[in-house]
């Protein structure tokens, strides 16, 4: 209890002081919680890339419809991303990824529902693995009829270019690909990408 002696209206002053301290305390706790959340998001995003790239990469959180929020500025033209926490609980495991300039452009177009630039070749690391509702439909948001599980991929790199992927000669168009060997995801579409597993 806070006591103020010899001051008229001390009780009201004490109540005001206690209320102010409570508000300040709540703000401090909120700031600490937000800081911890931000650091966790940064750490998660950076885990997608080799240390040499992650050390100087920007960090971005993607929201709905391609909305983005930068958590850290970088200096090497690579951007590591994760999804907003409220978008993670949709029945599929979301993994962080790190993109170069054109890779990020591809990802932003993909999340926003826009067509990627066919003349740009992007690159991405996903060293924590990856997942997709479908290997054939880039717009899928649930399992296709008869499909028992979503596509699960081990750590890999991606070449984000339909032109490259569709002429790569690797397996394409499979509903249940062997994800431990190179394959084309979304083959035959403008979103086709080449997936290359790494150790």
pLDDT digits (tens, 9 = 90+) for 86-128: 554 556 667 899 999 999 999 989 888 899 999 999 999 999 9
Residue 83 pairs with which residues in a beta bridge? 62
Is 22 part of any domain?
no
Is 69 part of any domain?
yes
User: Which residue's entry shows tokens 């600490």?
Assistant: 32
Q: Residue 100 is part of which domain span?
A: 41-197
At residue 38 the predicted structure's pLDDT band, cuts being 50, 70 and 90, is confident
Is 48 part of any domain?
yes
Statement: residue 191 has pLDDT above 60: yes
Is 184 part of any domain?
yes
Is 6 part of any domain?
no
Q: Are strands 68-72 and 122-126 parallel, antiparallel or unpaired?
A: unpaired
Mean pLDDT within 147-175: 95
pTM for the model stands at 0.77
What span, in angstroms and rounded, lies between the C-alpha atoms of 188 and 167?
10
Mean pLDDT within 168-190: 96
CA dihedral 113, 114, 115, 120 (to 10 degrees): -120
Is 185 part of any domain?
yes
Least confident of 77-91, 108-122, 145-159: 77-91
Is 11 part of any domain?
no
Nearest 5°: CA angle at 197, between 94 and 64? 25
Number of domains observed in the structure of the chain:
1
Statement: residue 7 has pLDDT above 70: no
Nearest 5°: CA angle at 34, between 29 and 37? 125
Residue 142, H or E segment: none
Is 31 part of any domain?
no
Closest CA to 132 of 57, 187, 55, 68: 187
Write down the pLDDT at residue 21.
45
What span, in angstroms and rounded, lies between the C-alpha atoms of 94 and 96?
7
Determine the distance from the C-alpha atom of residue 155 to the mean position of all C-alpha atoms in its chain, rounded to a whole number: 15
């Amino acid at each position: 209890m806070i006591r103020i002696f010899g001051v008229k209206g001390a009780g009201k002053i004490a109540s005001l002081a206690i209320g102010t301290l409570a508000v300040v305390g709540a703000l401090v706790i909120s700031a600490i919680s937000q800081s911890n959340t931000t650091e966790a998001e940064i750490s998660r995003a950076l885990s997608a890339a080799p240390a040499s790239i992650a050390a100087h990469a920007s960090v971005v959180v993607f929201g709905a419809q391609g909305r983005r929020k930068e958590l850290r500025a970088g200096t090497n033209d690579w951007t590591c991303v994760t999804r907003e926490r409220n978008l993670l609980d949709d029945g599929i495991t979301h993994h962080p990824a790190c993109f170069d300039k054109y890779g990020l452009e591809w990802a932003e177009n993909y999340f926003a529902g826009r067509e990627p630039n066919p003349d740009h070749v992007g690159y991405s690391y996903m060293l924590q693995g990856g997942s997709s509702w479908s290997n054939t439909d880039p717009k899928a948001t649930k399992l296709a009829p008869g499909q028992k599980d979503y596509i699960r991929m081990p750590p890999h790199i991606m070449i984000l270019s339909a032109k490259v992927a569709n002429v790569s000669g690797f397996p394409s168009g499979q509903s249940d690909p062997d994800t431990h060997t190179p394959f084309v995801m979304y083959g035959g579409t403008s979103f086709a990408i080449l997936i290359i597993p790494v150790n």
